[in-house]
């Protein structure tokens, strides 16, 4: 009997040891201590002692790969195997103390950590370097999919990547998520990089890239068809001393870049670089970031933010930009055939940015509203610098432009300015603005380094003097609520309290939501106006117009010498299509339009106008003015502006 028990115990011990090295053992923990004198079996008491051993193992769902704190493993970590949605594979640290485990590529490998054609991985708590004897294309952490299909769930959390002396190419990064290959449509779905630091890296800090980026608005008509990376989040990272770009989001849809700090950017690269930018992407949301000390040693860029070529519907909001040599923001549909449109820049603060606030190099329907721009005395920073193409169209509304310098505005005829406050210097190029103010906005402490210094003070003329913008941000830079019906404050700070219910007016548009199921009350282009039920902003129906040119118009009764707000929601079915709402014949031949709707998702828009002394009617409209697709309008309203 004792012999049977002893034999059973031996079998159990052997089975237990095998679970540490068996590739089919799900949910196991494997330990690595590269300072161990001998190679073990991967258990905590007998850890592996080389990356080669780790790389030879096939990991499975729920496994944990743990590296000893304070110990350096040299070479490349390139594990195999994938987790599952319910049980991802985790890489983390073990042991006492706070020192990180180090993966040191030593410049002898292309990337220190390479997750290649795997998914459901989480990497936490590591320190990563890849410093070579000479500069070459190399990376710190590279997550790569090649002809893979959809790769899901990647988390990089609390890592420290530094000293990666990559070459001056955009394939050299601190951390990059890269799609390569041209055979099978491939993309990432679910990437989070957060709470991490990237320092002294060339050329780029934190980026995505993809070979699947061909679409017409990016001047590409043949090649791997645009396949967006989705559910991408870059959050709460510190990125500094970067040779070139800080954060770059390429070929994504609905990515979020938030709560990051990037400074000392473009420290060594010979090309153009910026702090945080996105290219060939849809609806990237860049918010709550601080960017400063982006250099501009040459060339054109050097700004905090950039909506680059082939973008649709990018939003920059609640960001703090200061002391950047190339300015605050770039619009760059700037290569032949590129089309960038629908960028929104709202509720940001720019202090002492140099060169220009906006570098305009191509955007067809941008909106810049609710921002505060501070240009100090002695500065030559322009508010707008055009690259000479005259290809940027933007509407500026409700901004505080506190300009104590000498810089002015290029190509003002290309822009619409409404309801901005222009204080300080008034260059000859300062635009006409039918609702402008030039009064001192009474900021709390202009010239200070803190955002609090640019809040509106008591009695500011910017209080309750802004123009209404349906679909605007629901809050200001500081998180305070922004009114919808009441008039907002001008600038990035909403100081005033409000009661939207009390400010709400009567809608003068009949059948503005098209819920009647007909185009009654509207005069429409025959054969090009339809009631849609497949896409609506609210209710069950909307108006579908197209192909261009197609319109729906309605004559409404108005009062003389009265200011009105026309608002509504719109979207398009194709990237080449634009639809607008507007008003005309309210003061002779006067006409105004809200910024064009160019996105394939619903967005709001508004425009304010004042009737003439004898005006009793005005014509409001929805108009698909360009493109082969359809434009949609919904929830059109016309109300008197609140007092």
Other CB atoms closer than 10 Å to residue 270's CB: what's the count?
Answer: 12
Exposed/middle/buried for 194, CB within 10 Å: 0-12, 13-18, 19+? middle
- 370 and 487 Cβ atoms separated by less than 8 Å: no
pLDDT given for residue 459 in this prediction: 98
Strands (E), 33-110: 64-68, 72-74, 89-94, 102-104
What does the pLDDT look like over 118-165, one tens digit per residue? Answer: 999 999 999 999 999 999 999 999 999 999 999 999 999 999 999 999
Cα gap 643→447, rounded to integer Å = 32
Nearest in space to 548 (alpha carbons), one of 606, 598, 605:
598
Tokens of 366: 């941008």
DSSP symbol at 42:
S
Query: What's the first-to-final CA gap in the chain, in angstroms?
Result: 96
Query: For position 404, what pLDDT does the model report?
Result: 98
Type and span of the H or E element at 349 = strand 349-351
How far is CA 368 from each of CA 347, 358, 523, rounded to the nearest angstrom?
9, 10, 32
Kindly report, as residue ranges, where domains of CATH 2.60.120.260 are found in the chain.
523-640
Query: From CA 259, how far away is CA 415, in angstroms rounded?
Result: 31
Strand 344-346 versus strand 315-317 pairing type: parallel
DSSP run (H or E) holding 590: none
CATH number of 523-640: 2.60.120.260
**Bridge partners, residue 631, by sequence:** 545, 572
Q: Is the dihedral of CA 495, 371, 280, 567 positive or negative?
A: positive
Q: 618: which strand partners?
A: 556
215 touches 174 (CB < 8 A): no
User: What pTM was computed for the model?
Assistant: 0.95
| Peptide linkage before 110 cis (omega within 30 of 0) | no
Q: What is the pLDDT of residue 352?
A: 98
Kindly provide the residue ranges of all beta strands, DSSP E only, lying in 13-80, ordered along the sequence. Answer: 29-32, 64-68, 72-74
| CB-CB neighbours of 502 under 10 Å | 9
Alpha carbon distance 300, 310 (integer Å) = 19
Distance (Å, whole) CA 411 – CA 1: 97
What is the rounded CA–CA span in Å between residue 86 and residue 84? Answer: 5
* Residue 557 dihedral angles phi and psi, to the nearest 5°: -80, 135
Answer yes or no: are the C-beta atoms of 139 and 148 closer than 8 Å: no
pLDDT of residue 643: 82
CA 355 from chain centre, in angstroms, equals: 23
* Rounded-to-integer distance, Cα 516 and Cα 531, Å: 9
φ, ψ at 176 (rounded to 5°): -135, 140
Per-block mean pLDDT, blocks of 10 residues, the chain (643 long): 38 40 66 98 98 98 98 98 98 97 98 98 99 98 98 99 98 98 98 99 98 97 97 99 98 98 98 98 98 98 98 98 98 93 98 98 97 98 96 97 98 96 98 97 98 98 97 96 97 98 97 98 97 98 97 98 98 97 95 97 97 97 97 98 90
The pLDDT of residue 2 is 36
Chain-centroid distance of CA 454 in Å reads 24
Residue 596 has a pLDDT of 97
According to the model, what pLDDT value does residue 16 have?
41
State residue 234's pLDDT score. 99
Nearest to 184 by CA among 161, 212, 156, 219: 212
């Amino acid at each position: 009997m004792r012999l049977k028990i002893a034999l059973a115990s031996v079998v159990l011990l052997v089975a237990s040891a095998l679970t540490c090295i068996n590739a089919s053992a799900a949910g196991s923990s494997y330990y690595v201590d590269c300072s161990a004198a001998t190679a073990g079996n991967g258990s905590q008491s007998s850890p592996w002692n080389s990356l080669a051993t780790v790389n030879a193992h096939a990991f499975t769902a729920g496994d944990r790969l743990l590296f000893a704190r304070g110990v350096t493993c040299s070479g490349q970590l390139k594990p195999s195997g994938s987790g599952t949605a319910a049980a991802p594979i985790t890489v983390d640290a073990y042991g006492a103390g706070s020192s990180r485990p180090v993966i040191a590529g030593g410049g002898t490998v292309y990337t220190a950590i390479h997750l290649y054609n795997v998914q459901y991985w989480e990497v936490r708590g590591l320190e990563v370097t890849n410093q070579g004897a000479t500069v070459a294309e190399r990376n710190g952490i590279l997550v790569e999919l090649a002809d893979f299909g959809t790769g899901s769930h990647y988390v990089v959390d609390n890592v420290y990547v530094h000293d990666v002396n990559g070459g001056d190419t955009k394939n050299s990064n601190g951390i990059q998520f890269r799609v390569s290959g041209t055979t099978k449509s491939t993309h990432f779905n679910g990437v989070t990089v957060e709470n991490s630091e990237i320092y002294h890296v060339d050329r780029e800090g934190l980026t995505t890239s993809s070979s699947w980026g061909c679409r017409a608005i990016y001047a590409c008509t043949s090649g791997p068809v645009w396949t967006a990376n989705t559910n991408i989040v870059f959050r709460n990272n510190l990125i500094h001393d970067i040779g070139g770009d800080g954060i770059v989001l390429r070929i994504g849809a609905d990515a979020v870049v938030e709560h990051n700090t990037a400074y000392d950017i473009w420290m060594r690269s010979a090309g153009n670089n910026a702090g945080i930018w996105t290219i060939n992407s849809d609806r990237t949301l860049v918010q709550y970031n601080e960017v400063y000390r982006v250099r501009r040693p040459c060339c054109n860029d050097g700004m905090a933010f950039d909506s680059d070529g082939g973008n649709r519907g990018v939003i920059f909001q609640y960001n703090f930009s200061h002391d950047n040599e190339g300015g605050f923001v770039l619009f760059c549909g700037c290569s032949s055939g590129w089309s960038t449109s629908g960028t929104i820049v709202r509720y940001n603060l720019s202090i002492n940015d140099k060169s220009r606030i906006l570098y305009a190099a191509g955007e067809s329907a941008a909106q810049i509203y609710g921002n505060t721009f501070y240009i100090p005395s002695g500065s030559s920073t322009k508010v707008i610098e055009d690259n000479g193409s005259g290809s940027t169209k933007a509407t500026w509304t409700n901004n505080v432009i506190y300009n104590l310098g000498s810089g002015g505005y290029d190509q003002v005829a290309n822009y619409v300015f409404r309801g901005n406050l222009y204080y300080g210097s008034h260059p000859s190029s300062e635009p006409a603005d039918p609702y402008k103010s030039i009064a001192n906005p009474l900021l709390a402490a202009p010239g200070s380094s803190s955002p609090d210094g640019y809040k509106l003070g008591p009695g500011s003329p910017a209080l309750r003097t802004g123009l209404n913008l349906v679909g605007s941000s629901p809050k200001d830079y500081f998180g305070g609520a922004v009114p919808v019906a009441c008039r907002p404050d001008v600038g990035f700070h909403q100081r005033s309290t409000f009661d939207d219910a009390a400010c709400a007016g009567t809608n003068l548009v009949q059948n503005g939501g098209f819920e009647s199921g007909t185009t009654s009350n509207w005069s429409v282009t025959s054969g090009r106006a339809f009631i849609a039920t497949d896409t609506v902003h609210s209710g069950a129906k909307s108006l579908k117009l197209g192909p261009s040119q197609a319109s729906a118009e309605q004559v409404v009764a108005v009062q003389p010498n009265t200011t009105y707000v026309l608002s509504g929601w719109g979207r398009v079915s194709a990237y080449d299509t634009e639809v607008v709402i507007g008003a005309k014949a309210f003061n002779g031949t006067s006409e105004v339009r809200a910024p064009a709707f160019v996105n394939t998702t619903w967005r709001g828009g508004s425009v304010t106008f004042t009737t003439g002394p004898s005006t009793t009617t005005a014509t409001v409209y929805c108009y698909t003015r360009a493109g082969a697709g359809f434009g949609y309008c919904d929830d059109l309203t016309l109300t008197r502006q609140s007092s």
